């Protein structure tokens, strides 16, 4: 029996050529695709309450900025 599909929602984003190059390097070093690497960063780095309106501080933009500041390499 096939494994049920879990990730059914798709998003798009824009990055600079330099950011894409760095994402490719980071993903390859972990044996991952760029898409999988970005998904891992999101899952590991964002508490869903920050983007769902349940952030107790009410400052989701600041929280997301803080997350991006923690990204590896030259991504931010």
Where do the structural domains in the chain lie, given as residue ranges?
A: 17-69
Average pLDDT over residues 17-44: 90
- Predicted model pTM: 0.57
Q: Would you place residue 43 in the very low, low, confident or very high pLDDT band (cuts 50, 70, 90)?
A: confident
Q: Which residue has the tokens 């898409």?
A: 35
Structure tokens at 39: 């998904």
Average pLDDT over residues 37-65: 64
Q: Which residue has the tokens 């494994």?
A: 3
Average pLDDT over residues 2-29: 87
The helix (run of H) or strand (run of E) holding residue 64 is: helix 60-69
**Dist CA 22 CA 26 (whole Å):** 6
Structure tokens at 8: 């059914």
């Amino acid at each position: 029996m096939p494994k049920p599909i879990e990730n059914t929602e798709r998003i798009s984003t824009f990055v600079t050529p330099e950011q894409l190059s760095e994402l490719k390097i980071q993903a390859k070093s972990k044996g991952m695709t760029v898409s999988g690497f970005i998904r891992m960063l999101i899952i590991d780095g964002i508490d869903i309450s920050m983007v769902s309106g349940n952030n107790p501080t009410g400052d989701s933009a600041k929280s997301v900025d803080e997350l991006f500041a923690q990204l590896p390499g030259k991504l931010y």
